[in-house]
Amino acid sequence: MKTNSLHAFALVIALASPAVMNAQQTPAQKPPTADKQSQTKEDLALASQIRREVVKDKSLSVLAHNCKIITQQGFVTLRGEVKTEAERATIGDIAARIAGAGKVTNSLTVKAKN
């Protein structure tokens, strides 16, 4: 009888374990899209200041000038395509200089050459 109870207990634990494991895992958050731009004065000012600096840099392509700059609670996400890895790095550096170290997620991608 004790053996059956132990087997039943082990079966319950084995069946419950995947559910417990899944409940504890949090899905990875996707980077925000442009429609998720915060409308607070501070976030709009931050995005605007970064945009001005990016556009002012004439070494960047038109493609780079049009990247998405999304701000939420003082954090910046960069999205879109640029022509080169150097442009990607330059825009990331501009955003980090303005927003602060550790507050920028650079999700820019380098456009594939055709």
Paired sense of beta strands 104-110 and 75-82, if any: parallel
> pLDDT means per 10 residues in the chain (114 residues)?
53 50 50 65 94 97 95 93 97 97 95 80
pTM over the 0.75 mark: no
End-to-end CA distance of the chain, in Å? 72
Domains of the chain: 33-110 (3.30.1340)
E strand intervals along 3-82: 68-72, 75-82
Residues 6+ apart with CB under 8 A from 41: none
